[in-house]
Amino acid sequence: MHRGTVILIAAATILGSTLPAVAGIAPGAFEPTVLQQPKGRGDQLIAYYDAREGFSTFVNLRNEGQNPLDVRVDFYGPALSSPFTVNLAGSDQLSSGGTRTIDVGGLKDQGLPAQFGIAIATAVDASGQPIVTRALSGNFTVANLQTNSAWGAPSAARIALESLLLEKLEGVSGLGAPSGGPIIIEQSGFPPDPGTIIDGDLVRFQTISPVTSDLSVYYDPETLQPASEGGNQIIFISFDDDVGTPYTASAASTTWTAAISSNTGSSIGTGRVTASGVMVTNLEVVGGAGVNGQAGSMLFSTNPNAAQNRLVYFNESLSTFSTGYLLPPTETSYRADVQVIYNTSCATTAACHTTGGAAPVDLTEEVSWFETWNRMATESPKDYIVPGDPGASYLFDKITGAPGAGTMMPLGGPALPASQVETIRRWILEGALFN
């Protein structure tokens, strides 16, 4: 089975949000080609490292497979230009169950620049071609010699897949009649055989492409070690995969918008960061001086069409105590978050968005998702909901009073609170899932 293969799902069950198997295959049976957060084991690992003066890093690898592995480790700098490469092959290959620790600081004696960046470890065959193994796992530890502290995290793993689209036929009973043809229920990948060459075209790595990254709590920056000594760091990683072999990566741009709140929940403001390759910054640079004096939180969001791969790490040091981690994506719930807004503001009376009501779209429980998802509005050439794109979604135009959208909704009532508008925006941005 090859990239572009399409399976059409001919029936659906609304309650429970399940689709039946077709020819023995059901949605969810395959791996997604786009990840919101990385896996723990795969064909390739991505780790952050810092080899600047005052820092040191250890990159740790493990072979969880049944056979020995050759591994190529490319150490890219901030701009992701020509990498410094370590080949673990021959007598240095990873044995089955074996581990390897690479002292990144020690590589400077061999020519690695004193820089920060990412180490990309890829399983390869004897000729250096990237291959499917599903066997690599690992982690990294960054030591801050200025603060006498250290932090670390699991390496970001991903696998390679042949693409496969699962689609729903237009007009399936109970789902309405969408205007734009088949609806893509999910984009998934078919697992290639072990040893298959990953060429970046027919067989390609999953992309790690969250649209949100949540720094749920940070400590008051004034209580941390100085930012100039790495007392707090926000690390943005943004790159694309290049087609061809051997595997290479190139810097790509991602613009993140940060919604910043204090420890009382009040808004501190917004920040905006554009990163390409690897960027290391801190809380005050992103959020301004207003972040100082109290703990708080930052919620980063970006356009789904930004760089293919985007990761955000955070670390902070309180004296010699340090913590660091990959920021997780958020998940806004259609049922618990969005439908509650519809129930109280939109689907309230027969004159509104109810079954048989005067309004052209039904936003009552269980029906609203199928009435709006990728379906053209009756009064606009736009679709009500375009997954991943609030700006292209007519429903979002209506609740924000966008130019050309006509009367702002809810009709005759106060505008939705900013927090509820943000909930709907984030739900659409995250893919408008029926969750």
What's the farthest any 2 CA atoms get from each other in the chain?
A: 76
204 and 244 Cβ atoms separated by less than 8 Å: no
Q: Which pLDDT score is estimated for 229?
A: 95
Task: Calculate Rg over the CA atoms of the chain.
Answer: 24
* Interval 217-256: pLDDT, tens: 999 999 999 999 999 999 999 999 998 889 999 999 999 9
Q: Which of 361, 355, 331 is nearest to 430 (CA)?
A: 331
Q: Which domain holds residue 169?
A: 5-32+162-194
pLDDT for 347-402, tens place per residue?
566 557 666 555 567 777 767 787 777 678 777 888 888 887 888 888 888 888 88
Indicate whether 177 and 108 sit together in one domain: no
Task: Indicate whether 154 and 170 sit together in one domain.
Answer: no
CATH number for position 320: 2.60.290
DSSP label at residue 140: E
Collapsing DSSP states into helix, strand and coil, what is residue 42? strand
Residue range 275-297, pLDDT digits in tens: 999 999 999 999 999 999 999 99
Q: Both 267 and 253 in a single domain?
A: yes
Is the pLDDT higher at 404 or at 87?
87
Tokens 């000729």 found at: 127
Q: Would you place residue 34 in the very low, low, confident or very high pLDDT band (cuts 50, 70, 90)?
A: confident
pLDDT category at 335 given cuts 50, 70, 90 is confident
Residue 100 scores a pLDDT above 80: yes
Res 164: pLDDT: 60
pLDDT digit string, tens, across residues 186-212: 456 778 999 999 999 889 999 999 999
- How many domains would you assign to the chain? 4
- Residue 166 banded pLDDT, cuts 50, 70, 90: very low
- Closest by CA to 243, choosing from 208, 277, 202, is 202
Q: Please tell me the pTM assigned to this model.
A: 0.81
37: Cβ contacts below 8 Å, ≥ 6 apart: 208, 210, 326, 328, 329
Say if residue 318 is in the same domain as residue 338: no
286 assigned to some structural domain:
yes
Predicted pLDDT of residue 409? 81
106-119 mean pLDDT: 98
* In a domain? residue 39: no
